[in-house]
Amino acid sequence: MDLGLAGKKAFITGGTQGIGLAVARALVAEGAQVAVCGRDPERLAATGLPGVQADVTDPEQLGRAVDDAAELLGGLDLLVANAGGAFGGGLLDSTPEEWAQTYAINVLHAAHAIRTAVPHFERQGGGSAVVVASITGWKPGPKSSYASAKAAEIHLAAALGQELGPRNIRVNALSPGSVLAEGGGWEWFKEHHPERFEKFEREDFPRGRLVELREVTDVACFLLSPRASGINGANICVDAAQDHPSAGRLFP
């Protein structure tokens, strides 16, 4: 199925590794023009894609990055707000600063990026944005700052789908479960704790395996594409029916 992404211009935050880089490469394979954002210039260069260096937790830097990407590409049709992370742990063992950092790199960065992208989208006649959230946003684990930030991302996408829909801009959330990716944390656990990893897969996944990176990128590309024109303000889970988002009980 042709997704209609050829010639589309896309910008991806957190695009130098993991899900972000995989989505970037998948979009390129579909014929899109893609620029990625990251903090590390060496990692940016290693992607082989046009890159914009920025700290996405700084609204001014992030705004400039979106504008610079649009200039590099000659416009902007698509945005993937993929940057994210967690600082601290639960309520009682996290500082206010760690809570602020967690919200800044997750939901606030997504909001600032989309806000800056809106005029670029409008010049193209519309646009599509995907906010990469997490299974933790609707099936929370014990890290309350991260879980609540990801829940906020899901609701941000729902609200922006309503707010920006009249401008012909779609916004959706994509919530992956535990993804097995090269260089990722689960790959490390699989190598260093094979018995615990096998137990986790067997007990938490009906099909006995984690989500594959390709399964996430396929859905991301579809959501961004004109083929998904009827999907707006939604949260699409790619979690392989994962039973529990936190493996802390298995990996103490």
Based on the number of CB atoms within 10 Å of its own CB, is 138 exposed (0-12), middle (13-18) or buried (19 or more)?
A: middle
> Residue 126: what residue type?
G
**To which H or E segment does residue 237 belong?**
strand 235-238
Phi, psi of 121 (to 5 degrees): -60, -45
The answer to whether 49 and 3 are in contact (CB under 8 A) is no
Question: CA 44, CA 242: separation in Å to the nearest integer?
Answer: 32
Question: CA 99, CA 242: separation in Å to the nearest integer?
Answer: 26
Phi, psi of 93 (to 5 degrees): -120, 25
Measuring CA to CA, which residue among 72, 81, 68, 59 is closest to residue 128? 81
The answer to whether 20 and 36 are in contact (CB under 8 A) is yes
Residues annotated catalytic, as ranges = 146
The answer to whether 86 and 143 are in contact (CB under 8 A) is yes
Question: CA 200, CA 190: separation in Å to the nearest integer?
Answer: 10
Measuring CA to CA, which residue among 49, 80, 52, 76 is closest to residue 64? 52
Residue 55: CA atoms inside 13 Å, Cβ hemisphere, count?
5
